[in-house]
Structure 1
Amino acid sequence: MPALCRDHGVDLARFSVMSNDVRANTMLPARREPVTLTTADGLRLVGELALPEGTPRATLVCLHPLPTHGGMMDSHLYRKAAFRLPALADIAVLRFNTRGTASEAGRSEGTFDNGDGERLDVQAALEFVTARNLSNVWLVGWSFGTDLALRHGCADEVQGAVLISPPLRYSSPEDLAAWTKPLVCLVPEFDDYLRPPQARERFKQARIEEFAGAKHLFVGYTEQVLDAIVATVAPEVEVPLPRVWNGPAEERRVTIV
């Protein structure tokens, strides 16, 4: 950890040395930088890239839930992925606000376009990780973000997709049929839109992982979801991930706008 702080400008003074449970607001050390993604239609999208100390084992491009219902780059699973996975699993995490979406980091330009114009947002994110030479790129969509992944994410540089609570509301059977890359669906037992039996019927080519007792937002299931993501994109990493961190960490509360 000292090398991370010395070589990459992590301000260790912001962190307290701790050996405690990793909690909802625990932010572990990483190389974090605000980023701006520029779309083909000229919009500037707000985002953050969190990198591990060394070469990433995998790169997650996070596509957030429906912004008209509160989805954004700080939606809790993505915030916690960015706070934990660089340190615990050597995984890079890119999260960003799609067009017209706001978070504590700022508002992306443009307006919500029902998943159509967002094609250019996904494209901009993939161009960004390619330009940064980040490899083993996986899309991680949640709710509306799974529709964006299915509709717009089957690109050459993408290894596969992890779909969290996929509703199949903005995507079509044709979009799903076009996917030839690995798909893993994390499906809550009590999802509002698509429960495990229906998911198995609709996602013939996907691996379905059922989460007993969980609902659409996966409140209380963060550790299990992150373990499932890591097991998919970096199977060489032992899961479950550590629940205790011995080293510098910060308690970071995010303002939900």
Structure 2
Amino acid sequence: MTFDPASFVFTPQEAPSEIRASTVLPALRENVEFTTEDGKVLVGELALPASGEITATLITLHPLPTHGGFMDSHVYRKASYRLPALAGVAVLRFNTRGTASPRGTSDGQFEEGLGERYDVEAAVRFAVERGLPNRWLVGWSFGTELALMYGAVDPVAAQVEGAVLLSPPLHRATDVHLKEWAASGKPLTVLVPEHDDYLQPAEAAQRFSLVPQARLVGVDGAKHLWVGEKYAARILDEIVDDVTPAGAGAAGLPREWAGSVASA
């Protein structure tokens, strides 16, 4: 059975409580589908602020599906649980072709990042057609490859402001793609864990020197999967700082919530 995000039950609180990994804050959540140029139906979820203006839109590209990556990979799940309420940010998550999650399974099969070009284009087109403003790609691991390969060339380049990369391995993405980003002039933020399995901060700084506008942040103590609330919260702060006018604030996003909450 497909998970329905409208099934979350929100309960008022008598006092503020700590935001934990399973905390779900209020938002307008809906299951969505969109179709790629080559006819694949992709499934996902869109989470919008329950009220007020949308400050930014995240189009998330998940880690490698052949190694457990999907739209519910924990950083993206927490982004959808928190950012609409805490920062007015819309979060679009979806399964690339052939990827399954509790939301459902997208058509097709894994194509090593080649056919997935159509997936990126379809997701961005969906965001445009829904009128979602200030659109940013956010890629994690394999998702960074997709962002780098397809985000700085049309049609995507004309429809997004820039990208945030989490744990880029730079396996499929090459210097050619980095030079395309450089030529585009679009902002690129690169968050690199100190103990990454594939690309650590020193080498990342050398590789991304091809993109003069890239902002590279090495995160002490972190690993490729950003396990732990400390690192997930840090990532969400960095993303909000980059994509919204107000940013996350000097102290970062709130770590407590005083309104109604649900639990995942």
TM-score, structure 1 length as denominator?
0.92
- Which of residues 161, 170, 173 in structure 2 aligns to 1:171? 173
User: Structure 1: any 5+ residue segments left out of the alignment?
Assistant: 1-9, 253-257
Alignment match, 1:159:
161
Could you report, residue by residue, the CA deviation over 1:199-238 in whole angstroms, capped at 9, with x for unpaired residues?
1100112111111000000011111010000000014134
Q: Higher strand proportion, which one?
A: 1
Alignment match, 2:68:
70
- Tell me, what secondary structure is at the counterpart of 1:187? strand
Report how far residue 12 of structure 1 moved. 10
Supply the distance in 2 between the matched residues of 1:80 and 1:238 (Cα, whole angstroms).
15
Displacement over 2 Å in runs of 4+? 10-13
Alignment match, 2:18:
21
CA contact (8 A) 1:16 1:250 kept: yes
Alignment match, 1:215:
223
CA contact (8 A) 2:8 2:263 kept: no
Report how far residue 54 of structure 1 moved. 2.1
> Alpha carbons of 1:215 and 1:13: their partners in 2 closer, same or farther (altered >3 Å)?
closer
> Alpha carbons of 1:12 and 1:171: their partners in 2 closer, same or farther (altered >3 Å)?
closer
User: Structure 2: any 5+ residue segments left out of the alignment?
Assistant: none
- Which of residues 167, 179, 187 in structure 2 aligns to 1:182? 187
| 204-213 or 184-193: bigger deviation | 204-213
Alignment match, 1:255:
none
- Tell me, what secondary structure is at the counterpart of 1:149? helix
- Tell me, what secondary structure is at the counterpart of 2:47? strand
- Tell me, what secondary structure is at the counterpart of 1:41? coil
RMSD: 1.4
CA contact (8 A) 1:12 1:248 kept: no
Which amino acid counterpart does residue 222 of structure 2 have in structure 1? A
Which amino acid counterpart does residue 186 of structure 1 have in structure 2? L
User: Percent of counterpart pairs with the same letter?
Assistant: 57
CA contact (8 A) 1:144 1:166 kept: yes
CA contact (8 A) 2:6 2:30 kept: no
- Tell me, what secondary structure is at the counterpart of 2:258? strand
CA contact (8 A) 1:139 1:161 kept: yes
Report how far residue 135 of structure 1 moved. 1.2
> Alpha carbons of 1:228 and 1:26: their partners in 2 closer, same or farther (altered >3 Å)?
same
Could you report, residue by residue, the CA deviation over 1:89-111 in whole angstroms, capped at 9, with x for unpaired residues?
00000000000000010000000
Task: Give the number of equivalent residue pairs.
Answer: 243
CA contact (8 A) 2:32 2:45 kept: yes
Supply the distance in 1 between the matched residues of 2:256 and 2:90 (Cα, whole angstroms).
20
> Alpha carbons of 1:43 and 1:189: their partners in 2 closer, same or farther (altered >3 Å)?
same
Could you report, residue by residue, the CA deviation over 1:90-144 in whole angstroms, capped at 9, with x for unpaired residues?
0000000000000010000000000000000000001000001111100000000
Which amino acid counterpart does residue 185 of structure 1 have in structure 2? V
Which amino acid counterpart does residue 159 of structure 2 have in structure 1? E
Alignment of 1:121-200 (within 5 A): 121-154=119-152, 155-179=157-181, 180=184, 181-200=186-205
> Alpha carbons of 1:188 and 1:17: their partners in 2 closer, same or farther (altered >3 Å)?
same
